[in-house]
Each structure stands twice: as C-alpha cells, then as structure tokens.
Chains A and B, each alone.
Chain A
Amino acid sequence: MFFHNFKYTLKYLFKSRILIFWTYAFPIILGFLFYLAFSDIEKNEQLDIIDIAIVKEAAGEQRENSEDEASGNSEILLNAFEALSDENSEDQLFHTVYVSEKEAKGLLEKGKITGYLLAFEKTPKVMVKENGINETIFRQAVSEILQTAKLTAVLTEKEAGRQLAAAAGAAGGAGAGQPDWNAVAEKVLGDIQEEQANIRDISGGNLSYTMIEYYTLIAMTCLYCATIGMYAVNCILANMSRKGMRISVGPVKKGRLVLSSLCASYVVQLLGLALLFLFTIFILKVDYGPNMPLVILLALVGSFAGLSMGIAAGALIKANENTKIGIIIAVTMLGCFLSGMMGITMKYVIDSKVPVLNKINPAGMITDGLYSLYYYDTFHRYWFNIISLLIFSALMIGISFFALKRQKYKSL
C-alpha cells in the first residue's frame, strides 16, 4: 500500500501542471531573467569606479579626542579604502576624496558621489542617498572590512593569550611578561589570510553581488516544495478534499499514507532542485563556491523546511487548493524579497535593522547559509542556519500534528 500510494502520488504530482510550473519551470525562468539582467549590469559596472568620500573626523571635534575612541576600526578602514582606491591598481574599485562631513553632504546632494563614510564613528556609518548597486557595493565593502577587523582583533587576543600561557608554562609559572608580538602577528596574519581574500574579492571582478539573487532563487525553489507537500496532504485529509473523504473511508492507516505521499513529494522536489542546479551551474555558469556538498545539504534541508511548511498549509488552512498555492507563493516571495531577491540591499537593511526577521524567515536562513558558505571560511554561520531550518521544520510539523491525526470532523 505504501508503495502503491507512493507511485500514484508521484504520477499525479508530475501531471499537475500548476505544481510543476511553480516548482520546476518558474525558478528556471526567473534564473534566466536574472542572468539576462545581471550579465548586462556586470559588464557595465566593471568599468565603473565608484566615487565616494570619507570623513575622517567629526566637525568641531579635536583630533586627539576621536583618536583613541575609534582608532581600531577607522585605521583598518582607512587603510583598506586607500588600497581599494589605488589608481595604479587593476582592482581599483573606488575613487575616494577625503573631506569634512559638511562637504561630503554637499557632494552627495549634488550626486557627485555615491555615498560617504563617517570613519570617526565608533561603528563607522555609511551615508547614501539611493539604494542602487553602487551603494550596495560600498556598504558591502565597509561591512566586510569591519568583519575582518573584528576577526583580526579576536584572533590577536586569542593568540596572544595562548602564547602567554605557553610562556608561563615553560617558565614554570614564573611571571612571563610580554607575549612575543612578532610571533602573534605572524600567526594572526596567516589565520586571516583567507579572510583578506574577501576584501580582495570585493575589489576584483570576483565580487558577485548577483550571487545573492541566485541564492534566493535556490531558497525560493526549496520553499516551493510547500506547494507539492500541501497538495499531497490535502488529497488525504477528509476535511480538505473530496478525495480525502474517499481515501478516509478506506482501510488504510492515515499516518502511513501521509508518510508515503510526503516521500513522493520530496522526490518530486529533489528532481526539480537538481534541474535548477544543473541549469544554473552549466548554462548560467553560476559559481556556488568550493563547498558543493554543503550547498546540496543546505538545499536538502531547505526543501524539507518547505515540505513542512506545505504540511502545515495542507493541514491547517481551510481553503481550496489554489488559494493555498497562492498563499504559499506569496509568503515565499515575501521571504525571498526580505532576504535579498530584488537586490542585496534588502538583506543588508534587514540584517542590520531587524535581524530577527531573517532569523525566523526560512528563505533568509537558506540564503544566509549559502551566502556564508561563499564568503566565510568558518562554518558556524552555515550550521546555525541548518539548525534553524530544522527547528523551523519541527515547529511546522509539530503544529500540524494533531490536525493530521484527526479522524472525525465536526463538519466536512
């Protein structure tokens, strides 16, 4: 019976035009549109050097005052921007002028610069007028540099601590004074070598701010698994469909039936996902980074989260199938929009202003997981997203459980 239902579920899912459109065709079409749009942008933008301004000190403030406050951040920032603005470098990304805050404001108003950086602030601030690609690159550069700076500080502290402890051990507990700063610096430099590459990535043609769009595309496809799962669940529940009434009077355990249908749904989903990966990798030449197995794992877990969303929609929303498909698509699109489908700026804004939103948004989790795989060499953020997705799935299945188990209804 399990296999009988599995086989026919596969059959009707594959034959359902609306489901196949949303889970197979739509992501590929959208991916292709992204490709057309971005290949153009990337060509043009590569030639563009972005005009920015940097404000080194606050108006009216004495230099010494700001010096010790903000030194850590601003030093690294200023150095990094100097490098990125080097006119002799092939990788030049910015054209930078150093002005007062008032002048910077004026330049921005007149549209002479894309934005300016308040480097003296404790957390350096980026001021822009519009939200375009140049603005995004500017922001992204600042955020990457700060991230690296933070990492450097942490690593330095750790390494210094380690050396002190080692020295103390060697001296038999007798007060070891200073760590060997040279050794520390060497170690830290080695450690952050790869992080540094990120900053270089930003400056080079390597920066693919379009990557995020493809990541949201994967997220969207994963979550569209909800339409398939919803439909399969709907067909079994007596209070959701006429077919469900017919199946419910049959001599089969509902749990087994649901499980068998969900397995079939997942298989249909994985095929769609495979298709999308093949299409984006071989035709659109999208680069998912060096960690393909982890990318695939994330897509598998993401699809499971989508499936669980579909179970909830199937078991809990009392509406017809097309309305439910509409709801799933709307929710997924909103989630993808918030995680950067229409431009990374959105992700940037949400992550910095309302971080909780993308922490509960499954599209955000998938996008961020892929993003962190590409940009960071540590996997904490990746695993955090995987675990978040699993918790999300468990929650969705949990709230649907009793509705799924129900056998007799108050009305049909």
Chain B
Amino acid sequence: MKNIIEVQNLSKTYKQLKAVDDLSFEVREGEILGLLGPNGSGKSTTINCILSLLEFDQGHIRIFGQEMTPDAYTLKKQIGVVFQDVAVFEELTVYDNIDYFCGLYIEDKKTRKDYVRDAIALTGLEEFVKFYPKQLSGGLLRRLNIACGIAHRPKLIFLDEPTVAVDPQSRNNILDGIRVLREKGATIVYTTHYMEEVEQLCDRIIILDKGRVIAAGTNEELKELTDIEEKVTVEVDGIQQPQLDRIKALANVKEVTNSKNVINIIYGEGENNFEKLLEFLGREKIRYHKIYSERPTLNDVFLELTGKELRD
C-alpha cells in the first residue's frame, strides 16, 4: 500500500509550550486513520502543520510523495479540509457557501453544480440549501462545514473533530458520510477525542498524548497492549465478602471490585471465563439481575499507557 502522507520528526512549539514533539507517522492510501487524543494533545496543531498553515521547528512533510509547501497548488487541489471550528460565511446561504468554496478548486460551472449537489446529498442538507448558517442547528452547521470541505471531491480529506457538540442523528449522518467518502476512494485523516468513534470508523489508530505518539495500530492491535482480556459486570441483589474472595480466586481473574452490589471482574487472559463465572454464580446461589461482558476499550489502553483517563 502506498503512503499518502509521511510525517517525519515533526516538532512545533508555541512560545514555550511544546505542542507537537518529534512526531512521525504515515497515512496509507484508502484508509481512515484516526488521530485519537485528549483535548490539547496536539491533533489540530499537527494537521495545521501538515497543511503548511503553521510554521514548525523541525520535520518533513510529504503528501503524495511530494514536499508540502504553501505554494504546492497541485497537491492542494487534491486535499479537502474540515477544520475543527465552523468556517462559513454568515452572509451566504448553505448552497452559496458550498459553491463558493468548491469554486476555489473547480472552475467549470457545470461540473461544480454536480459536485455541489452531491455534497449536499451526502451531508443530507437538501432541505436547507436556502438557509443561512444562523438558521441552522449545531449539527446541521457541522454538516455544512463538512460539505464545504469535501465538495470538490478531494483524494485526501482531513476532518478535525467534526462531531464535537453534535446531536446523535447528525453524528450518525456524519460518520456514514465519511464511510461513503472512503468507499469512493478517498484517504481520510480523522481526529477526535471520542474513542467510540475511532473504534467504529477507523482502520488504523494513532493515540497522541502531549504531542507524542504513544501507540499506533489497528483497534485489535492496540487492545493487545493492555493486559486486560475481558471485563465482566454483575449486578447482584446481595453478596458476602467470602464469596467475593472466592471470585478473586477463580482462574485468570486479575481484579474484583464491588460498589453498591455492582461487581466488576477483570480477567487478564484465558478463554471461556464468562461461562465459568456463570457456573460459579449458580453453584454459590448468588442471584443477579444483570450480567454482561466487555472487551477492553481504548480508554483502558490509554489508562494503561499514560496512567490517566482519555475522557475529559
């Protein structure tokens, strides 16, 4: 697979603050790459450096195998960006906004008309084309922001936290839209601090903290990094301390905690742990009204690697 973006040893400081610290990674053709990190971990700064908007202290950035500079217009033609903050003209309608930004890339009016129509369909804004941004809800505004960034059918798309403060309906629309773009052949860099999104959407994930890569890989690969195999939660009517101790003594159990009759059991390894637990509960005649098992999350990975929670 070809590398679409190569970032080598990128560092960027704002006055004293080191926002990006010797960052290296690549983005492969046709993938959705997730940049996951808490607020302030340097995701937006990284993207703005890649796009040649920010000066950086050191590093090399190549896109489509070519050095990225502010004047690299042939590269820029193939790139679409959806910035973290909504950037549209308040004075122009939804349609005019999309047409304006698309027109910076596509000169031909007929082609542009098709492109704009497709972008509107993709983001589900058909009913709102005559609206002004002020009249749109937060979710619709974000969708307009996306439409403005991708209408010119770029081969490489950056989306910087496109779902922040968005209602669930818009969020689903946005995530579906991104999948469609990938199916049509675009390579996508997607930043977020929501781990669920990258888990659902991304082929590969890079976890950032304090401007550094702390882990990279597929969802499964990252989860291997924790020594958690499985987390089981049991909600019981009541349980005694000796019974808890016996759970702890079961095979593969790493940790057992009990708060208000909700018992969390963490398994480090092994198979059929859940089945064995069910047997045990039956034997001990412990009554429960809910029981479920989970795989470790990226939050567990983050916690393990940094000692802090990913959520804010």
Task: Please report A residues at the B interface, Cβ cutoff 8 Å.
Answer: 1, 4-5, 8, 11-13, 15-16, 235, 238, 241-243, 245-253, 407-412
Contact = CB atoms under 8 A, between A and B. Distances in A.
28 contacts: A1-B104, A4-B100, A4-B103, A5-B100, A5-B103, A8-B96, A8-B103, A11-B91, A11-B92, A12-B89, A12-B92, A15-B92, A16-B91, A241-B87, A242-B87, A245-B48, A245-B53, A246-B101, A248-B53, A248-B70, A249-B76, A250-B101, A250-B104, A251-B77, A252-B73, A408-B54, A410-B55, A412-B48
Nearest to A231: B91
Contact of A246 (B87, B91, B107): B87
A4 B100 CA distance: 8
A248 B83 CA distance: 12
B79 A249 contact: yes
B105 interface: yes
Given A11-B96, A245-B53, A409-B54, A251 B89 contact: no
A5 B54 CA distance: 25
Nearest to B100: A8
Contacts of A247: 101, 104
Contacts of A11: 91-92, 96
Contacts of B96: 8, 11
Interface string B68-104: 0011011011010101011111011000100011011
Given A407-B70, A410-B54, A246 B77 contact: no
A309 to B, nearest CB: 22
A38 B71 CA distance: 57
A20 to B, nearest CB: 10
B98 to A, nearest CB: 11
B83 A246 contact: yes
Given A251-B77, A408-B52, A245 B83 contact: yes
Contacts of A407: 52, 70-71
A246 B55 contact: no
Nearest to A242: B87
Given A408-B54, A412-B48, A251 B103 contact: no
B107 A1 contact: yes
B76 A251 contact: yes
A248 B48 CA distance: 11
A321 to B, nearest CB: 10
A8 B88 CA distance: 13
A235 B104 CA distance: 14
B14 interface: yes
Interface residues of B, number: 32
B54 A251 contact: no
A8 B91 CA distance: 10
Given A246-B83, A251-B73, A12 B91 contact: yes
B37 interface: no
B135 to A, nearest CB: 14
B148 interface: yes
A410 B89 CA distance: 25
Given A251-B74, A251-B76, A252-B104, A411 B54 contact: yes
B34 interface: no
B52 A246 contact: no
Q: Tell me which of A1, A248, A249, A409 has the highest count of chain B C-beta atoms within 10 A of its own C-beta.
A: A249
B4 to A, nearest CB: 16
Given A11-B91, A245-B53, A410-B55, 14 more contacts: A5-B100, A8-B100, A11-B92, A12-B89, A12-B92, A15-B91, A243-B89, A245-B48, A246-B81, A249-B51, A249-B79, A253-B73, A410-B54, A411-B54
B85 A242 contact: yes
Given A1-B103, A1-B104, A246 B149 contact: yes
Interface in B215-255: none
Interface string B254-297: 00000000000000000000000000000000000000000000
Nearest to B89: A12
A135 to B, nearest CB: 47
A411 B70 contact: no
Nearest to B103: A4
Q: Tell me which of B52, B71, B73, B91 has the highest count of chain A C-beta atoms within 10 A of its own C-beta.
A: B91
B103 to A, nearest CB: 4
Interface string B46-75: 001001111100000000000000110110
B88 A243 contact: yes
B53 A409 contact: yes
Contacts of B48: 245, 412
A40 B70 CA distance: 61
Contact of B86 (A4, A242, A251): A242
Contacts of A251: 73-74, 76-77, 104-105
B214 to A, nearest CB: 25
A409 B70 CA distance: 11
A131 B91 CA distance: 46
Nearest to A8: B100
Contact of A412 (B53, B81, B100, B103): B53
B55 A242 contact: no
A320 to B, nearest CB: 13
A329 to B, nearest CB: 19
A253 B73 CA distance: 9
